[in-house]
Every structure is written in C-alpha cells, then in structure tokens.
Amino acid sequence: MATSSDIDALAPDMADDMRAARELLGGSPAAELPPGLAALRARVDEDLEREQGLLATLRALPTPQRIGLVVILTGLLMGLTAVVTPRGEMADYPVVRMVVVLAVMGALMAVAVWRLLRPLHLPKPSSTATRLLLVAGVLAPTVAALWPVYGHAGHDPGHGLSFAVGCGQCMAFGAVMGAPVLALATMLRRAKVDGAAVVALAGVAAGLVGNLTLQLHCPVTDPLHLLLAHASLALILGVVALRWR
C-alpha cells in the first residue's frame, strides 16, 4: 500500500511536493463503499456459471500451454503435408533455403500467436510493435517469393489458364491449412478487446501457416506464382480476419 513512508523514501523536494499536493487533495476515497455491488456480484456469478465445457477449459489453460496448442497444430499440419502431399522435388530443393524460410516464417507465426493470446494481466505491448509484426508477417512470404532459387529448377507453373488454376489450387490449399489454426487461435483468446491490428494479425498468422505448408507441398519456384498464390495468403487472410470480426 502507498503510505507516507512510500513518499518519505523519495528525495526531499519530491516528497515535499507530493505531500503538499496530497494535502490539497484531501483524504483518499479508498475507504468508501460504492453502491450496486450486489447486482454486479450476481452478474459475475452468472458469467462464471457459463464458463463450462471444453472451450472454457481450453481458454483457462496457462498461456504457454495455449500457445503450445496452436504451435502443435501447426506442426501437425506441416507434418501431414510433408508425409501425405510432399513437393515432388523435395530431395533436390536447397536445404539452407528450406530451413531459413521455415524458420523465419515459423518464428513470425509463433510471435503472432503469442501476441494474439497475450493475457490481460501483462502490460499492454506498444501498438507500434504490433503493427511492425503485422508488416513483417506480410513481408516475409513476399521476400521468400522474390528470393531466387539458385541451382534448382522447380516445376513449370504453366501459362494462361493453367497458371491461374495452379495459383488457385495453391491458395485453396494454403487457406485450408491456415483455417484450423485461425479457428483454434480465435477460440483460445480470453477476451476479444484488441484493436484492428491484432485482429488482422490472426489472419496473417493463418496465412503464414498456409505458406509453411505450401513450402513443403508446392514444387513451383516461379516468383510470380509464389507471390500471387503463396505470399498473398497472409495479406488476404489478414483482410478476411478483419472483415470477419
């Protein structure tokens, strides 16, 4: 509790200023009992009674476990992709590039999930940091798309209609892979009080999951295909999340 000793411990000029101001302010109103508490208590009890079932149990998990669930789901989707529908030329694909792309996008996705599920008992992070994360989440797949693949020829992206169909298939694949992560992360949030940047971040995180799985699935290395069908997912799902909220 703030007591006079709290102020006494300060430098003399600071303490004098504070004492004088507090004298002018009068007694602290901390001891007054506000009305309306009984009705409020009844509403709080109703809230707590509604907190039953699987969803409530998941939301009440410690934050590292909630984040862990989303990361595990992402890992499962990536594992499933690598086993069931791996890219055909995986063995020839440059290992360093694969590792860097997966590591950077995976790390961004994890940080985005952490920001989404950040509990309210911690001081609010700066909105600038959130916006930077949002921009990084959109830019990372774009940079990966434009990063030339040396010494490796991927599959032909096709031309005209076949190019468009290929792009559509990849976008659908990435969206289907990102959707469960977006749904889980949204379910695990305890309070939907954040601003537009955080809501968009949920979609961007899902777009990053789509990109992670596409990196393991799609054998095309053409920059235009990667840009339109892979990298755009983060932006599109970010906008979808904003519209959906």
Partner 1 sequence: MKSDEELMQAYIEGDVAAFSELFDRYGPMLLRIMRRQLRDDDAQELVQQTFLQMHRARNDFDTSRKLRPWLMTIAYNLKRELFRRRGRKPEAALEVEPEAEDRGDIVERKSEAARLRRALATLPEGQREVIEMHWFEELSFPEVAEILGMTTSAVKVRAHRGYKALRATLEKDVTGG
* Site residues for partner 1 per CB under 8 A: 1-3, 6, 10, 14, 17-18, 20-22, 24-26, 28-30, 32-37, 39-41, 43-44, 47-48, 51, 56, 59-63, 119-124, 190-191, 193-195
CA–CA dist 162, 42 (Å, integer): 62
Closer to partner 1 by Cβ: residue 61 or 179 = 61
Q: Strand locations in 41-155, DSSP E?
A: none
Q: Which of 200, 92, 220 is nearest to 145 (CA)?
A: 220
Query: Closest CB to partner 1 among 121 and 159?
Result: 121
Q: How far is the CB of 235 from partner 1 (least distance, A)?
A: 24
Query: 211 near 174, Cβ under 8 Å?
Result: yes
DSSP state, residue 30: G
DSSP per-residue letters across 92-122: GS-HHHHHHHHHHHHHHHHHHHHHHT--TTS
CB of 11 to partner 1, least distance (A): 9
CA–centroid distance for 91 within its chain: 31
CB of 123 to partner 1, least distance (A): 3
Q: Quick one: 24 or 83, whose CB is closer to partner 1?
A: 24
In whole angstroms, give the CA distance from residue 46 to residue 188. 21
Query: What is the smallest separation between the CB atom of 49 and partner 1, expressed in angstroms?
Result: 11
Q: To the nearest 10°, the Cα dihedral for 241, 62, 111, 230?
A: -50
Choose between 56 and 164: whose C-beta lies nearer to partner 1: 56
- Least separation in angstroms between residue 3's CB and partner 1 is 8
- Rounded distance between C-alpha atoms, residue 239 and residue 138, angstroms: 11
Dihedral angle computed from the Cα positions of residues 41, 47, 49 and 50, in that order, rounded to the nearest 10 degrees: 170
Smallest distance from partner 1 to CB 202, Å? 16
Measured distance CA(152)–CA(149) in Å, rounded = 6
Specify the residue, 67 or 231, whose C-beta has the smaller distance to partner 1: 67
CB nearer partner 1, residue 18 or residue 104 = 18
